[in-house]
Amino acid sequence: MSSLGASVTANARIVIADDESLIRLDLREMLGELGYDVIGEAADGRSAMDLARKLRPDLVIMDIKMPGVDGITAAEDLTRERIAPVVLLTAYSDQGLVERAKEAGVVGYVVKPFRQAELMPVIELSLARFEEFRSLERDVGDLKEALETRKLIERAKGVLMEVHGLREAEAFHRIRKTSMDARKSMKEVAEAVLLTHEMERNATGDGAAGR
């Protein structure tokens, strides 16, 4: 396990929500074997939100399609209320919903049918992303601005990972360090990364077209 896993996810308290009892059973057993503490279960979105508000878990794992309140709406509310990060259980056919979920502040996804080996990396990354988000919110002092900034940073991280072969945590560290060194906001640094990448890509395209 990474140092992140040792320090952040050891005994992480998790609420799980799915309208299929067998899915909840499998998930509870897998999470327990990985060392996580499942502190509550729900079969619909409203109950999941109520449980999360009451129990204040470290993470909520929820199916994207739930009776009553769907996983995306629940995730949006739990993020806005600063209660817990949300990982969605999804199917390959849910791509449109996944895009909607990004706007709601969802931090991670597990594709059904899931395997135990897939859970820990997603949980670790989701907890780390939520900490990034909370740090951003403290920096900018506004939830809406923090969400917009996080979207830019996610895109900028993707560019750095693609161009420089960095891991996600390394890409985030580079953006944060540049922000501190240059005395610029992380949003400004992310915008600069994206602009530079776009200009380089356009220059490459123009050069190819001129040949």
- Would you kindly state where each structural domain of the chain is located, as residue ranges? 3-132, 142-210
Q: Rounded to whole angstroms, how far apart are CA atoms 37 and 43? A: 18
Residue type, 113: P
Q: What is the pLDDT of residue 134?
A: 72
Query: How much is the pTM?
Result: 0.65
Burial 22-39, CB ≥16 within 10 A → b, else e: ebbeebeebbeebebebe
What superfamily in CATH does domain 3-132 come from? Response regulator (3.40.50.2300)
Contact 174, 191 (CB under 8 A): no
Spatial distance between the Cα atoms of 64 and 197, rounded to a whole number of angstroms: 33
**Segment 17-61, tens digit of pLDDT:** 999 999 999 999 999 999 999 999 999 989 999 999 999 999 999
Q: Contact at 8 Å (CB) between 159 and 197?
A: yes
Q: In what order do the strands lie in the sheet with 13-17?
A: 37-42, 13-17, 59-63, 86-90, 108-111
Taking the C-alpha atoms of residue 7 and residue 71, their distance in angstroms, rounded to an integer, is 28
Rounded to whole angstroms, how far apart are CA atoms 103 and 153?
14
Q: pLDDT per residue over 54-84, tens digit each?
A: 999 999 999 988 888 888 888 888 877 888 8
What is the CATH class of 142-210?
Answer: mainly alpha
**Phi/psi of residue 90, nearest 5 degrees:** -140, 170
Q: Is 67 within 8 Å of 44 (Cβ atoms)?
A: yes
Q: Which residue did the predictor score with more confidence, 206 or 156?
A: 156
Other residues' Cβ atoms within 10 Å of the Cβ of residue 21: 10
β-strands 86-90, 37-42 pairing: unpaired
- Biggest alpha carbon distance in the chain? 64
Q: Quick one: pLDDT at residue 37?
A: 93
